[in-house]
Amino acid sequence: MKNIFRGKNILIAGGTGMVGIPLTKKLHNLGANIYIASLDKIKKDQQKLVRKFYKIDLINVNNCIKVTKKMDMVFNLLGVTGSPQINYSNPGSFMMSNLYCAVNLLYASQKNNVKRYLYTSTYGVYGKSLKMKEENVWKTFPSEHDKYAGWAKRMGELQIEAYQKEYNFDGLYIVRPANIYGPNLNYNPKNSMVVASLIKRILDNENPLKVWGDGSNIRDFIYCDDVASAMINVVKKNIKKPINIGSGKGVSIKQLVKTIVNSKFVKNKPKIVYDVKKNSGDKKRVLITKFAEKNGIINKTSLKDGIDQSILWYLENKKFINNFKYNQFKKKK
């Protein structure tokens, strides 16, 4: 298959995170000219692979216009994520930041004649009781636990449909990842998601380890490197309908905790205490990934291997973790 990335100017928006870093490496190996825009700091080893790094806020439409000039492709990895608690306490930040980052970047890309544009949605666009198959998304509403980010991401998807129809913008792609984990996770204890929260607390020797809920909730976890590969495959294979990117397998929170605790890199094994009084979200959220599997889109790293790599990265970078991440929820003075 022809290498459509070689020699192309490619912007990775939000490209300094756990998906952006492996995506940068893969596109660099394919011969692309890579540009990154992010509010996070860029690490030195990634900086070596890019033509230019913009430390810039892409909520601002003029900034979006600036960074998309002369780009052939845009990978939009932008999005505000965090724990359910942050979702409840900062709904405006979740909804409006996700909405602006979607609307303004696609608007700018169309104005600057970008040929291919990939939008990173989320499996939060699905309803809680829905079979998470691509064509079912509009049959119900996003779950109460994901409604702010879920609706914002749905609007981003709807904008893509509108641009396809009005402007004949043909090279538009949508991916809906499950819970992404891996190296370079957000480990801020105030707004980290479940894998990062558990890894940090276990390696910081929290004992007993308190886990919200009874541990029976089931989630779909996908390793960051597999998401980056899937994004490239979607564009390369010109998959123009929204596509689920996940393992397609349910993992209970109890299984997740056990996998982390039993890792060869965890020396001190804590006592686990499940707090059934705490809200732990929807009971089950697992993507149906048959369409992606049929089209050869997804590689699936095992949970054990992915967790081991995540823990190893944390141990090697613990001193520097908070030096790179921009905190969307930090109160401004």
pLDDT single digits (tens) 83-138: 556 666 777 776 788 888 899 999 999 999 999 999 999 999 998 766 899 999 99
Question: Do the Cβ atoms of 114 and 73 come closer than 8 Å?
Answer: yes
- What value does the mean pLDDT of the chain take? 90
List the domain range (segments joined by +) for residue 213.
Answer: 9-323
Query: 167 versus 189: which is more confidently predicted?
Result: 167
What mean pLDDT is predicted for residues 74-79?
Answer: 94
Q: Establish how many alpha carbons lie within 13 A of residue 64's alpha carbon, considering only the half-sphere containing its beta carbon.
A: 21
Q: Classify residue 90: in a domain, yes or no.
A: yes
What's the rounded mean pLDDT across residues 66-95?
A: 80
Confidence of residue 329 (pLDDT cuts 50, 70, 90): very low
How confident is the model at residue 320, as a pLDDT? 76
pLDDT in tens, 16-27: 999 999 999 999
Structure tokens at 87: 């979702």
Contact (Cβ atoms closer than 8 angstroms) between residue 117 and residue 167 = no
Residue 333 lies in a domain: no
The answer to the question of residue 252 being in a domain is yes
In a domain, 331, yes or no: no
Is residue 4 domain-resident? no
Task: Using a pLDDT cut of 90, give the percent of the chain over it.
Answer: 73
280 pLDDT exceeds 90? no
Q: Is 117 within the bounds of a domain?
A: yes
Query: Has residue 31 been placed in a domain?
Result: yes
pLDDT digits 0-9 by tens, 31-56? 999 999 999 999 999 999 999 999 99
In angstroms, the CA 272 to CA 170 distance is 51
**206-220 mean pLDDT:** 93
Q: What is the pLDDT of residue 332?
A: 47
Which of the two residues, 85 and 75, has the higher pLDDT score? 75
Domain CATH code at residue 41: 3.40.50.720
**Number of independent structural domains in the chain:** 1
Q: Say if 164 falls within a structural domain.
A: yes
